Amino acid sequence: MSLAFFVLLATAQVQGAVEVTARRQQWIAGSLWCGIGDVVVKYQDITLRSNQLEVDVQTLKVQAEGNVVFDQGPNRLACQRLEFDLKTKTGTFYEVEAFLAPTYHFRGELVEKLDEDRYRFRNGTFTSCTLDDESPPWHITVREATVRLEGYGHFHGAALWLKGVPIFYTPRLVWPVMRERAAGLLVPNVGHNDRSGAYLGNAFFWPISRSFDTTLFLDLFSKGYVGVGQELRWAPMEHAFGEVQVNYFRDPDRDQWEWKLTGRHRQLLPGGWAIKADALDLSDINFFQRFERTFDPNALRRLPVYLTVTRTVGHQMLNLRLDHEKTFFQLTPQRTSVVVLERQPQVEYRLRPTQVGRLPLYLSTVAEASRFRVNRSATLRGKYARVDIFPQLTALLPSLPWLSLTPTLGARATYYTSTYTADRTALVDRSLLRQYGTFGLTLTGPSFARIFVGPDRKLKHLIEPRVEYTYVSDPGPQGRVPVFDERDGVTVSNRLRWTLANRLFIRTADGTRELGAVEVSQDYSFSQPLSVRYLPRQESPRGPLSVALHINPSDALLLDARASYDAISNKLTALAVSSILRQQKGYVNLTYFSSFNPISGATIASQAQLFFGTMGESPWRWQSMVAYDLWQKNLLRQEHTVSFRGSCWAVSVQLRDYRIPPHELRDYRIILDLTGIGTLFDIRGGLQAFGK
């Protein structure tokens, strides 16, 4: 078979040449060219393939039959028969399977290409799934649709099918068909719970520009609650992005509106500067704990709003921080106490350990100047300033390979413009300069090691003692110091901590890792008792004896166990165990904690948490979490999620049970995501019969 080939040169109506190839060719009536077998037509961004093709070289109208494939840019249409005009780039396709960027497929009776980017579809199926199967996992059947690429599709007689079942019908539907974000209503959410009743929510999305977009929310509840809100997102430049969302909810019980604000911003600036901001605030934490009925608000006790500006140059760091933080304390189920702390602002300088000249000395420093506003109670409130500086000098002394000695010397000075009264119930304008010194000494070794050589691996056993001595001098009248953060608390110390570690390492062709370790440690004070018992009174300069066991026999298994023994009674006071088993198809994580009375040995508290789930390449996923009080024999919390992810859709079902007072929660959530559409259903509801 010979290959026929010719080129139609550019004319006034055609911009560029039309290239045609075929296995066989013939001319009919002078201007009508017919190609048979592996026919290919190329013109500008169009490539047309078929078994047989006729083209009128005068009008450039094409008719093609048999395995017709039409490509234009990222779009492809395959059909049995085609009538097309190369000049206008319009035509009709019969018995079509089409792909339209970015993710849409169509199979149907007829497709008309109306102009450069507009198509009309008749009696067919739209989906983002592949068309290999007769019935895709989800699809929309349409009587007629007109679609503008990078625009909107107008569907008539549209029905949504999921796994062969019709779940939604509308006589008219408008849907964005574009790579870029498009303005429009999002898919509604529905649900139900005992607190707010039946729920219907919808949102309107508006892309303001390429760097900004916003979403408006409206939520309606059958028991009188109403929610409105707005989310704004931005990314104006590289390494700069953020979002903020404000929601208002009408509380019908008190006939008033409550609000909630969340937001964040991250940005990197020239010169090593970085900005980080986060915000979480609300009008009434008790309302949102009752209304939202989620785990996080139930356990939420802090609402931080802060801004930090940071610059790092070498070993030096400069931080500027402003923040506003509320901390809630539950006094009764109906009454909450609120503590408000603010930095207005705080400037901090940090110097990481830096060698002093060529000496074996390393200097590190932390210095800050802050202005605070506190509101702890009706009397303990006000504003004051603090200036703090804490330099430290560390020496690296010459040592043996199996023995090292590292001393550290420091001095701290902190100035307060206001102090506490004698009963610590108010602030008074009386300044205070607090000064104290610190000294630390770390001795590691002498270390002992032995290596055991096997056929394909080496084992190394290491015994390493370590002694850490800490001294903190008396800072003076600590009771007058206003407490804002950890810098204000000082404990006079003259103590030593000893640790004896046994470690086992394995070396194979893949590298070296630790197989296991046992550490025993205890504190000893030279100035004050670390353990005290009453009735009868007993004291000991020794602190609790701690034992830690770490076992890692393989990458799939990890075990940690920790125990604490009272220094006076020598009885077990705390025990914690954590283990993780991870395989290709799943994982199990178990944690256990118990505390005991050091005198009687009776159990004070005992809890266990179990996490398990599946992994791997299976489209099915299972994740579960159970927390149980072994001492009280009560279930505290459980959460189970089953999900399935197909090629073009995903569904997940979540059951949650939170039993810690005062805001217990039992509910379910069903989420259905369709590729190309987004979240179709997000159904939430109460589940009062979840279990007792």
**How long, in residues, is the chain?**
692
For the chain, what percent of residues have pLDDT higher than 90? 53
Please provide residue 586's backbone torsions phi and psi, each rounded to the nearest 5 degrees.
Answer: 180, 180
Amino acid at 277: A
User: Cβ distance 292 to 279 under 8 Å?
Assistant: no
**240 has pLDDT over 90:** yes
Task: Indicate the pLDDT class of residue 587, thresholds 50, 70 and 90.
Answer: very high
If one compares 665 and 222, the residue with the highest pLDDT of the two is 222
Average pLDDT over residues 64-87: 91
Start-to-end Cα distance in the chain = 80
CA distance 463 to 519: 10
CA torsion angle 100 103 107 111 (round to 10) = -20
If one compares 616 and 193, the residue with the highest pLDDT of the two is 616
Nearest to 445 by CA among 504, 501, 403: 403
**6 has pLDDT over 70:** no
Ramachandran bin of 197, using left for φ above 0, alpha for ψ from -120 to 50, beta for the remaining angles? left
Would the CA dihedral through 618, 622, 623, 626 be positive or negative? negative
Average pLDDT over residues 573-595: 95
Average pLDDT over residues 463-480: 93
| C-alpha triplet 441, 447, 450: angle, nearest 5° | 165
Q: Two tokens at 543?
A: 């602190």
Strands (E), 537-645: 538-540, 545-554, 557-565, 572-582, 586-596, 603-614, 620-629, 634-645
Residue 304 pLDDT:
92
Residue 692 pLDDT:
43
Residue 274 pLDDT:
96
Average pLDDT over residues 595-618: 92
Q: Two tokens at 646?
A: 């197909």
**611 has pLDDT over 80:** yes
Residue 181 pLDDT:
65
Average pLDDT over residues 452-481: 90
Average pLDDT over residues 479-496: 93
pLDDT tens digits, 202-215: 888 888 988 999 99
Residue 299 pLDDT:
56
If one compares 579 and 333, the residue with the highest pLDDT of the two is 579
User: Cβ distance 305 to 324 under 8 Å?
Assistant: yes
Residue 285 pLDDT:
81
Residue 690 pLDDT:
43
User: Cβ distance 50 to 65 under 8 Å?
Assistant: yes
CA distance 641 to 302: 28
Beta-carbon contacts of residue 292 (< 8 Å; ≥ 6 apart): none
CA distance 172 to 302: 48
**509 has pLDDT over 80:** no
482 - beta bridge partners?
none
Residue 9 pLDDT:
41
How does strand 273-282 pair with strand 493-508?
A: unpaired
668 - beta bridge partners?
655, 685
**513 has pLDDT over 70:** yes
CA distance 32 to 29: 6
Task: Indicate the pLDDT class of residue 691, thresholds 50, 70 and 90.
Answer: very low
Residue 688 pLDDT:
58
Average pLDDT over residues 574-582: 96
Residue 157 pLDDT:
92
CA distance 526 to 671: 61
If one compares 77 and 7, the residue with the highest pLDDT of the two is 77
Residue 1 pLDDT:
36
CA distance 266 to 283: 25
Q: How would you label 129-167 residue by residue, b for 16+ Cβ within 10 Å and e otherwise?
A: bebeeeebbbbbbbebbebbbeebbbbeebbbbbeeeee
**64 has pLDDT over 80:** yes
Task: Indicate the pLDDT class of residue 2, thresholds 50, 70 and 90.
Answer: very low
User: Measured between alpha carbons, how far is residue 468 from residues 308, 445, 486, 498, 580 in Å?
Assistant: 35, 12, 22, 6, 32
Half-sphere exposure of 646 (CA within 13 A, CB side): 16
CA distance 500 to 496: 13
Residue 236: other Cβ atoms inside 10 A:
12
If one compares 183 and 396, the residue with the highest pLDDT of the two is 396
- Tell me what the pLDDT averaged over the chain comes to: 88
Tokens 């077998």 sit at which residue? 37
**606 has pLDDT over 90:** yes
Residue 16 pLDDT:
65
For the chain, what percent of residues have pLDDT higher than 70? 92
CA distance 629 to 606: 6
**17 has pLDDT over 90:** no
How does strand 18-22 pair with strand 4-8?
A: antiparallel
CA distance 124 to 145: 9
Residue 402 pLDDT:
76
Of 136-140, 353-357, 500-504, 557-561, the range with the lowest mean pLDDT is 136-140
Q: How would you label 250-273 residue by residue, b for 16+ Cβ within 10 Å and e otherwise?
A: ebeeeeeebebbebebebeeeeee
Average pLDDT over residues 626-638: 93
User: Cβ distance 374 to 341 under 8 Å?
Assistant: yes
CA distance 400 to 378: 60
Beta-carbon contacts of residue 413 (< 8 Å; ≥ 6 apart): 388, 389, 433, 434, 435
**297 has pLDDT over 60:** no
pLDDT tens digits, 411-425: 999 999 999 999 999
What residues does each domain of the chain span?
1-87, 89-180, 183-300
User: Measured between alpha carbons, how far is residue 585 from residues 559, 581, 615, 654, 668 in Å?
Assistant: 20, 11, 5, 21, 26
**617 has pLDDT over 90:** no
User: Measured between alpha carbons, how far is residue 111 from residues 63, 243, 557, 616 in Å?
Assistant: 15, 42, 58, 41
Residue 284 pLDDT:
85
